[in-house]
Structure 1
Amino acid sequence: MKKTIDARGLACPQPVILTLKAIADAAEVTTIVDNQAAVENVTRLARSKGCSIEVTKKEDGIYLTIRREGAPSEPAVAEHVVVCSTSSAAAGPLVVFVPSDCFGRGPAELGERLMGAFFHTLLDVAPKPKKIIFMNTGVKLLIEGSRALDDIKALAAQGIEVLACGTCLSYFELTEKLAVGRVSNMYDIASALLEASKVVEL
């Protein structure tokens, strides 16, 4: 069974969610998108589900053809579910959630200074988070000129995954200015938060 999903013009994370639903009961799904962020998000989804993906650029959009690899892909999906189960939650990763470019409440200048100090300190403390998620004005910490940028780059170099909310970057017109991390979507962000053993919100 084949399905075609027209996700052109849809805001994040709709292309991912529609594709996820389609591959649940179709052996081949073609999702049509119109931006690179959607390409990357759907590609990550396909690979996480053990599917192959073929990207074809046409005049009217970018066509992502996703195919299930048959029986071998099923254990991978089952294994993923086990990892996310309640019984294994304690073994999940530590995630830092950054919803603002200021640390805590109070004067903005002080909050920005404290945020810079936090990321500088994080380089030398343990345990390290597996992921740091930036949303809302927090994405402003990931662009050139941010006092925390160098330290966040150093954390990324240590293997910590840095996720930036794509909708937030678009809202502030900062997508092209992202200097570290990758553009993410609400599906990935929600999954990361729910799978974490502990979420530290700044």
Structure 2
Amino acid sequence: MLIEIDARGLACPKPVINTKKELDKLQDGIILVTVDNSIAKENILKLSKSLNCEAKITKEEEDLIVIEIKKGKNVIIEDKKDNELEDKCIFISSDKMGEGNDELGEVLIKGFIYTLTEAKPYPKYIVFVNSAVKLTAQNKSTIENLKVLEECGVEILSCGTCLDYYNLKETLQVGSVTNMYNIVDIMKNSSQTISI
């Protein structure tokens, strides 16, 4: 079975939601998803991997990207690093930690992220929203430590809407851009979500 989805012009996270709906209905077959931006492309590739589907780009032009997703019994995508990580999500919503003095809050959040590199097993996901996206795009200290975690298999995810709001999408230094659908899905399916 072949299903085609035209998700061009749809705001995030609609392309992912529409793709997920069709994948949920499909037992065995191929879905061709057409999008018009790299953020939607990356989000759909991540969705495919999370659902154990095989995905590849079949066409990529400036405003036209076609993703082929195969779903079926013979498709197995393994992530070897998963067994070294805890099924936990750390949700960070500010570039400071705690209430009170902002300068102290900045020191604390840097210390927290550094300490994560020393505390194994690592969480599967670290999600950054609101001003926390500055930690993945501007803060050299936190970026260095987050790169250490990323190299060990931790998914570092920054909210695309938040990056846009702070004009930081082009300066993201570590991890990848995500959307609210993916954030909700991760938080629902992780065994534990720790909010900072």
TM-score (norm 1): 0.79
1:48 aligns with 2:42: no
Task: Show the counterpart of 2:4.
Answer: 4
Task: Show the counterpart of 1:133.
Answer: 127
Task: Show the counterpart of 2:171.
Answer: 177
Evaluate the alpha carbon distance shift between residue 172 and residue 193 of structure 1 in structure 2; reply closer, same or farther with a 3 A threshold: same
Q: Which structure 2 segments of 5+ residues have no match?
A: 77-85
Q: 1:99: Cα distance to partner?
A: 0.8
Map 1:5-24 → 2, pairs under 5 A = 5-24=5-24
For 1:145 and 1:20, the matched residues in 2 are separated by 34
For 1:126 and 1:28, the matched residues in 2 are separated by 39
Q: 1:20: Cα distance to partner?
A: 1.1
Map 1:110-121 → 2, pairs under 5 A = 110-121=104-115
Q: 1:59: Cα distance to partner?
A: 6.2
Of the two, which has the highest radius of gyration? 1
Structure 1 residues 57-66 or 159-168, which shifts more?
57-66
For 2:63 and 2:110, the matched residues in 1 are separated by 43
Q: 1:198: Cα distance to partner?
A: 1.8
Equivalent position to 1:37, from 36, 39, 57? 39
Identity %: 39
For 1:55 and 1:196, the matched residues in 2 are separated by 32
For 1:151 and 1:58, the matched residues in 2 are separated by 34
For 1:105 and 1:96, the matched residues in 2 are separated by 18
Q: 1:186: Cα distance to partner?
A: 2.1
Q: Deviations over 1:106-144 (max 9, x none)?
A: 222221111111112222234432221111111110113
Q: 1:146: Cα distance to partner?
A: 4.2
Equivalent position to 1:149, from 143, 148, 152? 143
Q: Deviations over 1:24-55 (max 9, x none)?
A: 33533222211111111112222333244343
Root-mean-square deviation over aligned CA pairs: 2.5
TM-score (norm 2): 0.82
- Decide whether the 8 Å contact of 1:140 with 1:146 is kept in 2: no
For 1:114 and 1:62, the matched residues in 2 are separated by 42
For 2:35 and 2:178, the matched residues in 1 are separated by 16
Letter in 2 for 1:160: V
For 2:173 and 2:114, the matched residues in 1 are separated by 17
- Decide whether the 8 Å contact of 1:46 with 1:53 is kept in 2: no
- Decide whether the 8 Å contact of 2:37 with 2:63 is kept in 1: no
Q: What secondary structure, in the 3-state scheme, does the structure 2 residue paired with 1:169 have?
A: helix
Letter in 1 for 2:101: P
Evaluate the alpha carbon distance shift between residue 39 and residue 196 of structure 1 in structure 2; reply closer, same or farther with a 3 A threshold: same
Q: Which runs of 4+ in 1 moved over 6 A?
A: none
- Paired residues in the alignment total 186
